[in-house]
Amino acid sequence: MNAPERIRLTEFSHGGGCGCKIAPAVLTEILASTPIRGLPRDLLVGTETADDAAVYRLNDRQALVATTDFFTPIVDDPLDFGRIAATNALSDVYAMGGRPIFALAIVGMPLEKLPVGVIQKILEGGESVCAQAGIPIAGGHSIDTLEPIYGLVALGLVHPDKVKKNSAARPGDVLILGKPLGIGILSAALKKGKLSESGYAALVDWTTRLNTPGEALAEMSDVHAVTDVTGFGLAGHLLEILRGSSLGAQVRFDSLPIIGEALDWAKQGVATGASERNWKGYGDEVSLAADLPEWKRKLLTDPQTSGGLLVSCAPRAADAVLAEFRKRGFGAACVIGEVQSGPARLNVA
């Protein structure tokens, strides 16, 4: 066995994947005093509602979607780490209804600790996903860091009139989730050395599925709001939709798609530290059923790396949205709840 195969990437990082995001409450405090000055008229989406990407109108038919996403390893295999990080970064373009056009690599590596071959595999994994998306990695930037960091600047195009924001949900909309929950829990089990081979396969499978349905959703006028579920968990990213839309929502826990092994570990108390930080950041905006056990609450706040699209659409469009997901390999997609009039609050039954 050669040296690169003995490397455990997760040993080099204090967090992993989107679980290493700054906690919601801390991020809000950091950004509270950041001024927003001189916004150009053609900036269609900025920082106003914590949307997935910035969108800038180029002309009457094209708007540029721009985003960046990077993190520390969620898995030990370097090729898988690169694939997951790239898939996650491109997801923000799809969440806006965009089509990726090219990417730039963000690379930070502890050069004294990681063999060049391992770093090459990480970059190879990212390039393979971009090739699957039909785009090149056209450049990037690299630095020597204490922890391994990899991700992308992702750029895409969308029609200015077809941008899918996270702030346009309507009362009576149904909520559809495209991927099952539980990635954070599987990653926690992996770090503890408890994850099975099939559990690891499920983790990699779901985190490397490009959220390509987003591009098709841009063509559906009855799809009102879209985001992707990542580090703040299902509850956190749904709350972003609700705050931006000034609406409430009801979610039925038993309707949620959950990865089988993640469900088993959750019931045994396995969770990430980020799950608890998420709850502390927005738990006062969530009403839970009185009999909802702790493990269910932790699944709602479980940080998802490269998670699924969360769609708010008119009930009459639900079948078409689900058909689009299933056509593109997202058989777990399902309706999980409804948007309601009222304050921006999530109710979970």
- Given a cut of 80, whether residue 12 has pLDDT beyond it is no
Work out the angle at residue 316's Cα, subtended by the Cα atoms of residues 335 and 175, and round it to the nearest 5 degrees. 25
Each residue's pLDDT tens digit, 107-151: 999 999 999 999 999 999 999 999 999 999 999 999 999 999 999
- Given a cut of 80, whether residue 164 has pLDDT beyond it is yes
- Given a cut of 70, whether residue 25 has pLDDT beyond it is no
| DSSP label at residue 39 | -
Q: What percent of the chain is modeled with pLDDT above 70?
A: 91
Q: How many CB atoms lie within 10 A of CB 58?
A: 11
Q: How far is the C-alpha of 203 from the C-alpha of 80, rounded, in Å?
A: 10
Crossing angle for the helix pair 197-207 and 260-267, nearest 10 degrees? 120
18 is known as an active-site residue: yes
Q: Which long-range contacts (CB under 8 A, 24 or more apart) does 129-132 make?
A: 129/82, 129/83, 129/86, 129/87, 129/90, 129/208, 129/210, 130/86, 130/90, 130/100, 130/103, 132/210
Q: From the candidates 18, 20, 130, 313, give the one annotated as an active-site residue.
A: 18
Cβ within 8 Å of residue 143, ≥6 positions away? 107, 108
The number of C-alpha atoms within 13 Å of 326 and in the hemisphere containing its C-beta is 10
Task: Please indicate whether residue 213 or residue 9 has the higher confidence score (pLDDT).
Answer: 213
Q: What is the set of domains in the chain, with CATH numbers?
A: 3-161 (3.30.1330.10), 164-348 (3.90.650.10)
Each residue's pLDDT tens digit, 246-290: 999 999 999 999 999 999 999 999 999 999 999 999 999 999 999
Work out the angle at residue 184's Cα, subtended by the Cα atoms of residues 302 and 93, and round it to the nearest 5 degrees. 85
Closest alpha carbon to 205 in 166, 164, 260, 163: 260
Each residue's pLDDT tens digit, 33-88: 676 666 799 999 998 899 999 999 999 999 999 999 999 999 999 999 999 999 99
Q: How far is the C-alpha of 208 from the C-alpha of 218, rounded, in Å?
A: 22
Q: Which long-range contacts (CB under 8 A, 24 or more apart) does 54-58 make?
A: 55/96, 55/98, 55/158, 55/160, 55/163, 57/160
Q: How far is the C-alpha of 183 from the C-alpha of 274, rounded, in Å?
A: 12
Each residue's pLDDT tens digit, 312-325: 999 999 999 999 99
pLDDT given at position 31: 66
DSSP string, 87-137: HHHHHHHHHTT-EEEEEEEEEEE-TTTS-HHHHHHHHHHHHHHHHHHT--E
